[in-house]
Chains A and B, each alone.
Chain A
């Protein structure tokens, strides 16, 4: 059974750092596309970053230069290193796996989310 478990969310100060983790089971992250999606309190979904099978990474303009997505194949985990945090980064962060094939792609499995609060 495919499962994603999010962890690492916490209260941080503006300018601080956090590292979120997404532990996968039932599949191998090294052969999957994994994304992070966040949701600010009472707001909609926002794509944050993705890591591709070949290791290429992409991130939203709102986090570029501050957030880094990476993969630890030995632990079957995808991480999101968040630095220089801002109040507007406050959100629940979900990791999700891309499913589908032949050009039809979608996020088919999601973690439970981990909350990040940035406040002084």
Chain B
């Protein structure tokens, strides 16, 4: 079973700054199988990035994904107030388990 490890656990930044979130996998993962979600308090998650780097419909272009193999990154170029939330990476595809990382909380500094 592939384990996804996200870092940092908490990231404290100010609006306008750049955020870099990491997701490392215990085994090499095809890029098409890495997804990023955003979750705000009291809400269900929503997809931001799939296939490691493809923006989902409605995702602002300040969000970008990159990486391959075992190292993946979600970057938010200039933080807006609505971007402060928890972010999860997930292994997708057709072969379970569809494991999630433990999440990175992005909080206002």
Contact = CB atoms under 8 A, between A and B. Distances in A.
Contacts of B39: 45
Q: Determine the main DSSP class of A at the interface with B.
A: strand
B47 A47 contact: no
B108 interface: no
Contact of A47 (B54, B56, B96): B96
Contacts of A111: 44
A110 B101 contact: no
Contacts of B97: 47, 58, 60-61
A46 B100 contact: yes
A5 to B, nearest CB: 12
B56 A106 contact: yes
A106 B35 contact: yes
B99 interface: yes
Interface string A74-99: 00000000000000000000101011
Interface string B22-33: 000000000011
A45 B88 contact: yes
B54 A104 contact: yes
Contacts of B93: 103, 105
A1 interface: no
A41 interface: no
Q: Number of contact residues on B: which range applies?
A: 20 to 34
B32 A44 contact: no
Nearest to A112: B44
B50 A106 contact: yes
Nearest to A46: B100
A111 to B, nearest CB: 7
A98 B37 CA distance: 13
B102 interface: yes
9 contacts: A44-B100, A45-B45, A47-B100, A61-B97, A94-B44, A104-B32, A105-B35, A105-B50, A111-B44
Interface of B: 32-33, 35, 37, 39, 44-47, 50-51, 54, 56, 86, 88, 90, 92-94, 96-103
Given A44-B100, A47-B90, 5 more contacts: A60-B97, A100-B50, A100-B92, A105-B92, A106-B35
